[in-house]
Amino acid sequence: MKIRSIFKNAVLILLTVFAAVSCNDYEEELEVLTDVYVINKKFGNEVRSANAYYAYASESMLKVTVSIAGVVELESYSGATFTMAKEPKDADYKTEAPLDGSYVFNIQGYNGEMLQVPDILSYEGIDIPEFTKTKFSGTPLILELEWNDVDGADGYVVKMFDTGGKLIFNGYSVGTDVNKYTITSSSNSGFWSSPAVEGQSYLLQLSAFSYDADANASNAVYNISEISIGEIQIMWGAN
Q: Under 8 Å CB-to-CB from 104, ≥6 apart: which residues?
A: 66, 67, 68, 116, 117, 118
Same domain, 96 and 136: no
Same domain, 96 and 192: no
Same domain, 108 and 59: yes
Residue 221: predicted pLDDT? 86
Confidence band for 111, pLDDT divided at 50, 70 and 90:
confident
Same domain, 109 and 168: no
**pTM for this model (two decimals):** 0.85
Q: Is residue 230 part of a domain?
A: yes
Cis peptide before 129 (omega within 30 of 0): no
Look at residues 86, 121, 156 and tell me which one is the last residue of a structural domain. Answer: 121
Q: Is residue 38 part of a domain?
A: yes
C-alpha torsion sign, points 18, 86, 126, 102: negative
Q: Is residue 55 part of a domain?
A: yes
Residue 217: predicted pLDDT? 84
Same domain, 139 and 116: no
Rounded to the nearest 10°, the torsion over CA 218, 187, 129, 11 is -30
- At residue 210, does pLDDT exceed 90? yes
Same domain, 102 and 158: no
Residue 47 · residue 128 · CB < 8 Å: yes
- At residue 18, does pLDDT exceed 80? no
> In terms of Cα–Cα distance, which of 108, 15, 99 is closest to 63?
108
Residue 27: predicted pLDDT? 53
Look at residues 121, 147, 176 and tell me which one is the last residue of a structural domain. Answer: 121
Structurally, the chain folds into a number of domains equal to 2
The residue range of the domain holding 200 is: 131-235
Determine the average pLDDT of the residues in 45-61.
95
Q: Is residue 69 part of a domain?
A: yes
pLDDT averaged over every residue in the chain: 89
Q: Is residue 1 part of a domain?
A: no
Residue 93: predicted pLDDT? 97
Look at residues 121, 154, 175 and tell me which one is the last residue of a structural domain. Answer: 121
* Beta strand spans in the chain (E): 32-43, 46-57, 61-68, 70-73, 75-77, 80-86, 101-109, 114-121, 131-137, 142-147, 155-161, 167-171, 174-175, 180-183, 190-192, 201-211, 224-235
Same domain, 98 and 135: no
Same domain, 76 and 161: no
C-alpha torsion sign, points 11, 144, 161, 38: positive
Determine the average pLDDT of the residues in 219-231.
93
Residue 134: predicted pLDDT? 98
Same domain, 94 and 136: no
Q: For residue 74, give the amino acid letter.
A: L
